[in-house]
Amino acid sequence: DALAQTSCWVDFKAAKYAFHRCIVQIARNGFLAAMFDQLVASRRQAWASYHPHPQHLTAAHALCVEECSAILAAFHRGDAEAAA
């Protein structure tokens, strides 16, 4: 829901990373979590000054919400293959 509610790039990326961080937490793998956190920190530095055109955000937003919704639905069904 948080991802679907975003309207700016920074909020979109924060919600997307939060969604994927939850998935990493489910794995209960400290190494994987640390690697993910480092990756997110690096990505945040890389796009700190990036401000896409609203059209680009809209397209990326719609696709990401669709993909994340499908992953979440697969988790709820217990379908690891579809969630991957």
pLDDT in tens, the chain (84 residues): 788 888 888 888 899 999 999 999 988 999 999 999 999 999 988 887 777 777 777 888 889 999 999 999 999 999 989 988
Taking the C-alpha atoms of residue 36 and residue 15, their distance in angstroms, rounded to an integer, is 15
Q: Note if the pTM is more than 0.85.
A: no
Q: Mention every residue, 6+ apart, whose C-beta is less than 8 A from residue 65.
A: 3, 4
CA distances from 18 to 34, 53, 60, 61 (A): 14, 23, 16, 15
CA distances from 1 to 5, 7, 17, 54 (A): 6, 13, 13, 20
